[in-house]
Structure 1
Amino acid sequence: MVYINAYVRQHFSPLNVLSDRAVQSKYQLTRVEIQRLVTLVSPHIQRATRCNFALSPEVQLLATRRFYAVGSFLEVVGDGTGLSKASVHRGFHAMAGIPRVIGVVDGTLIPIHNPSLVDPCWIGRKHYAAINTQVAVDHDGLITDIVARWPGGTHDSFVWANSAVGQKAGRGEFGRSIFLGDSGYPLRSYLVTPITNPATPQEERFNEAHTHTRTHIERVFGRWKSRYRCIHRSAGGLRLSPVKCCRVIVVTAMLHNIAVCVGADEPPPVDEDGETSEDEAPNPAPRESRAALHQAGVQTREELVNLF
């Protein structure tokens, strides 16, 4: 009789030798949260193999987290945060006084590095290949919606129109709640953009409040990319196929949310210059089919301006 011995490398774990501070620094989560993640994902990544020295689920998870954190090798995130719309409204209102805000939406370019990409649609106006990733955040810095599927040259307004959150908003599923977006988005009753040429003190104050509130998402981008350097341009771009790049982006967003929920230490800031999407492109004049939607947005914005 022949016996086949299969060993799983479970005898060593960084969690057994690193201090709590080192675990937090290397993997961007506490020891307890990492162990909870291991329990959650183990049934899905346990290697069904008889090969010697197969990696344990814990080692696989830690290696993956380390990659997401440093980027040295190699559609929608659930919004079940347990917060009511009223709570979110109050959180955003406290920032700069704009009522009924349920989220801030913006696009960010996630660089990718793949020499085989020859289609110019992947190249944005910053002249590098990227995924144009649309993100919506709440007042606590949680990513409540993410769309990571479109090439870097895709305009924000197109991504919004073809996203689940944009279509839900268009159907009125968020009631009178509104999102704030920059001038790259279409003005709607549920998506309010700044006034291009403010002509009154009220309009100027509204724009200031709009800008102040919108910087919240820029800070989230900074923390997210600092926590997971693989999606920051300084790492040289994700060296994976575009489909796998999109998956990595979504997973890092989920892990960012876990870090926010457990109160993980704030990572050092990173420079976001050059990684925002085409957010300042002017909106095209609305066609007749869009005129009514645009006018409804104008009316909503005027109501908000009157509060300032």
Structure 2
Amino acid sequence: MVVGVVIAHERCVVMGVLVMEVVAEDVVHAGVSGDETGREEGDVEEGDTVEAVDVGMSAWVEDLPTVKGDFYALGHIPKITGAIDGTHVALVSPRRSEQEYRNRKSYHSMNVQMVCLADQYISHVNAKFPGSVHDAYILRNSSSPYVMGQLQSHRVWLIGDSGYPNLSWLLTPVRNPRTRAEERYNEAHGQTRRIIERTFGLLKARFRCLHMTGVSLYYSPKKVCQIIVACCMLHNLALRQVPFLQEDGPAGGLVAAVEPVDSEEEEVEEEDIDDRNNAIQQYFQ
């Protein structure tokens, strides 16, 4: 574990072991539900649960004004409650269904969907899909539509890139802006959405096993999913709950580059642009 402060080796080991044990034993802890137990290591199957919704979600939902205010400070788009995107974590070629794990860049990976808050706290992670699966498909098959549906009385949005459909609760960029208002919206959108890229960079700086640095995780897909969720839990602990992991500055002393934008991301058909158009007219004219 790479952090910007000196931490007793024993404490790091204990934290990591405890989190991995919790994930592996399929109990709910800190909002993370681990895989089913009692099966051999292998591919992630339909019954596996490696999607985690932070148990603190109810707390930040109750504090929506603060969450929205923090996001507004990033790019001056109101009513944003999370930035969503996918990132790839490399693993060795699985024994089964190898092609499903080969992504567009021709290496094997898990495509991990995350949602973060403006302070880089990970409020949601879905780590159960192989690298060939598109971000939009992962979104449709995650708990995000349900969670955001429950929040629609608050008229809030997630913010994501053009790899997602524009929905009543998800704002994406205008693909071909024709007005100055649409250009201003896109500029604000990019400034706000960049926080998820910085979060990926910080997470992978803290846990180099998640970073594509010439090596891949030498574990089964199911175990890789567990490792990813465990790292997200420890990342959140470092941000919020563990005093001896704190350091001046939001990155805890780490130098974490913004994860590069995947310019090859396949655009999807926009589904519901009325709310986005209304937002542009109301806030960016």
Give the TM-score of the pair, scaled to structure 2. Answer: 0.76
| Match in the other structure for 2:276 | 301
Is the CA contact 1:134–1:159 (under 8 Å) kept in the aligned structure 2? Answer: yes
Q: 2:173 maps to what in 1?
A: 194
Aligned to 1:85: 64
Gap change, CA 1:216 and 1:26, over 3 Å in 2: closer
Can you list the C-alpha shifts for 1:118-148, whole angstroms capped at 9, x where unaligned?
5312111111000000000001110000000
Q: Secondary structure at the match of 1:135?
A: strand
* 1:39-118 equivalent positions in 2, closer than 5 A: 41=18, 75-80=51-56, 82-83=59-60, 84-114=63-93, 116-117=95-96
Once residues 211 and 26 of structure 1 are traced to their aligned partners in structure 2, the CA distance between those partners, rounded to angstroms, is 28
**Residues 191-231 of structure 1 deviation map (CA, whole Å, 9 limit, x = unaligned):** 11110000000000000000111111101100100110001
Could you say which residue in structure 1 is the equivalent of 2:139? 160
- Of all paired residues, the percent bearing the same amino acid is 32
The structure-2 alpha-carbon separation of the partners of 1:115 and 1:177, relative to structure 1 and needing over 3 Å to count, comes to closer
SS at match of 2:87: strand
Structure in which a larger fraction of residues adopt helix? 1
Structure 2 residue 266 is matched with structure 1 residue 281: yes
Query: After the TM superposition, which residues 216-295 of structure 1 pair with which residues of structure 2 at under 5 Å, given as runs?
Result: 216-234=195-213, 236-261=215-240, 262=243, 263-264=246-247, 265-270=252-257, 272-273=259-260, 280-284=265-269, 294=271
Report the aligned-residue RMSD: 3.0
Q: Which of these residues, 11, 14, 18, is aligned with residue 34 of structure 1?
A: 11
| Partner in structure 2 of residue 65 of structure 1 | none
Query: How far did residue 271 of structure 1 move?
Result: 7.3
- Listed one character per residue, the Cα deviations across residues 4-44 of structure 1 (whole Å, up to 9, x for unaligned) are xxxxxxxxxxxxxxxxxxxx857978459938965x949x6
Distance (whole Å) between structure 1 residues aligned to residue 267 and residue 176 of structure 2: 12
Whole-angstrom distance in 1 between the partners of 2:264 and 2:81: 20
Equivalent residues of 1:28, 1:227 under 8 A apart: no
Q: Relative to 1, partners in 2 of residues 1:164 and 1:148: Cα closer, same or farther, differing over 3 Å? A: same
Q: How many residues align?
A: 243
**In structure 2, what is the Cα distance between the partners aligned to 1:183 and 1:197?**
11
Q: Secondary structure at the match of 1:233?
A: coil
**Using a 3 Å threshold, how does the CA distance of structure 1 residues 29 and 91 change in structure 2: closer, same or farther?**
farther
Match in the other structure for 2:114: 135
Distance of 1:108 and 1:278 partners within structure 2: 13
8 Å CA contact 1:88–1:138 kept in 2: the answer is yes
Deviation for aligned residue 1:159: 0.3
Contact 1:156 1:277 (C-alpha < 8 Å) held by counterparts? no
Give the superposition deviation at 1:173. Answer: 5.7
5+ residue gaps in structure 2? Answer: 23-50
* Counterpart AA for 2:99: P
Question: Structure 1 stretch 165-174 or stretch 251-260: which is displaced more?
Answer: 165-174
Alignment of 1:200-219 (within 5 A): 200-219=179-198
In structure 2, how many angstroms separate the alpha carbons of the residues matched to 1:233 and 1:41? Answer: 25
**Considering only CA atoms, is the larger Rg found in Structure 1 or Structure 2?**
1
Distance in 2 of aligned mates of 1:25 and 1:152? 26
CA positional deviation for 1:260:
1.4
SS where residue 208 of structure 1 aligns?
helix
Alignment match, 2:42: none
* 1:277 positional shift: 6.4
For structure 1, the residue ranges without an aligned partner over 5 or more in a row are 1-23, 46-74, 286-293
Residues 128 and 254 of structure 1: CA distance in aligned 2, closer, same or farther (over 3 Å): same
Whether the 8 Å CA contact 1:222–1:271 is kept in 2: the answer is yes
1:121 aligns with 2:86: no
